[in-house]
Amino acid sequence: MTEQSTESPTEVDLLIIGAGPAGLYGAYYAGFRGFSVAIMDSLIEPGGQVSAMYPEKDILDVAGFPRVKGQTLVDNLVAQANQFDPTYYLGHRAEDMDLQDDYVDVTSHKGARLRCKAVVITGGIGTFTPRPLPDSDNWEGRGLQYFVPKLDVMQDKDVLIVGGGDSAFDWALNLRNIARSITLIHRRDRFRAHETTVDDVIADERIDVHTFHEVSRINGNERIESVDIFDNRTDEKRTIKCQAVVAALGFTADLGPLKRWGLEQDKRQVVVDTSMHTNLNRVFAAGDITTYDGKVKLISVGFGEAATAVNNAAPYIDPDKGVFPGHSSDKSKDQ
């Protein structure tokens, strides 16, 4: 994996902004089409939200993988992309874009300058920030976590999970054979998680689920020792012994500098057509950052969108190339 210096501008055929699953697969496809490619991401490691938020979560809906850990999927995508030696700009936020008829210039917040013939934006949801747990100041790093990058840190601990979405229920299932005890609370009795996951959690005797409950106070000295929770219907209070709290309350997202580039947007997403082209010349987008009629936000969908974007960018990069790439089974890198 190559880190490019910022001393001089670099020319590449294609720049991919965002090193999540869609961006990494797009980098592979650009290499497969014979293009030089650079990948830019504000995070210091590839993988986007998957690596940052749920590297040890089991992902069940990627074609060809009955079950795959998030970080394993990312590692495989990096290996696949690295067959064609992409240049990585990690820890670089794409800051400015200058559109010309024949090329696009992009500059990062660290001053890295790239000139490319096309851009594919795969920035996921943009910059994401966890929603804080109320009255939890100063407990982060002392037992309070918003993500669980390594499951084994919960070994033999009493864990309180707060939330009602997919992340809360996934953590409960993934930790049930690791933690000493698991309590999950949610402020109402309706959940945003997949129904089958909810059913699995509720049916598991190792997981104690309390609806209509919220956190009132975290107790402890150097680290969390217990948490006071209350029933928001009756105001009845109780104290739960725990050494770890996972606040899976979702996150806020911001497109950051992309908002001023002139991209057509619908709320916090970039509008694309069926070729994944944005309203800007030579600028395409793929993955969760995009929207169109019938959009479904799945990693598997993002893979297809990335391939569509790269192949439709091909004639902009090389007018002699068509959109259709041919079949990979008919080619090899050595040919």
| Residue 54 assigned as binding residue | yes
| Residue 128 assigned as binding residue | yes
State the DSSP code for 29. H
What are the phi and psi torsion angles at 59 (to 5°)?
-100, 130
8 A C-beta contact, residue 51 and residue 21: no
| Residue 288 assigned as binding residue | yes
* Residues 93, 95: Cα–Cα separation, whole Å: 6
How many Å is the Cα radius of gyration of the chain? 22
* Residues 46, 40: Cα–Cα separation, whole Å: 9
8 A C-beta contact, residue 21 and residue 126: no
* Residues 252, 234: Cα–Cα separation, whole Å: 30
Residue 178: other Cβ atoms inside 10 A: 16
Give strand ranges (E) for 131-206: 144-145, 158-162, 181-186
Between the alpha carbon of residue 248 and those of residues 100, 150, 164, 231, the distances in Å are 43, 15, 8, 19
299, 200, 206, 73 alpha-carbon torsion, rounded to 10°:
-20
Tokens 């300058």 correspond to 113
| Residue 329 assigned as binding residue | yes
Between the alpha carbon of residue 65 and those of residues 22, 72, 226, the distances in Å are 16, 11, 39
| Residue 155 assigned as binding residue | no
State the DSSP code for 258. G
Spatial neighbors of 135 by CB under 8 A, at least 6 apart, are 215, 216, 217, 218
* Residues 239, 231: Cα–Cα separation, whole Å: 12
Spatial neighbors of 322 by CB under 8 A, at least 6 apart, are 314, 315
Binding residues: 41, 49, 54, 94, 128, 288, 329
Binding residues for FAD: 41, 49, 54, 94, 128, 288, 329
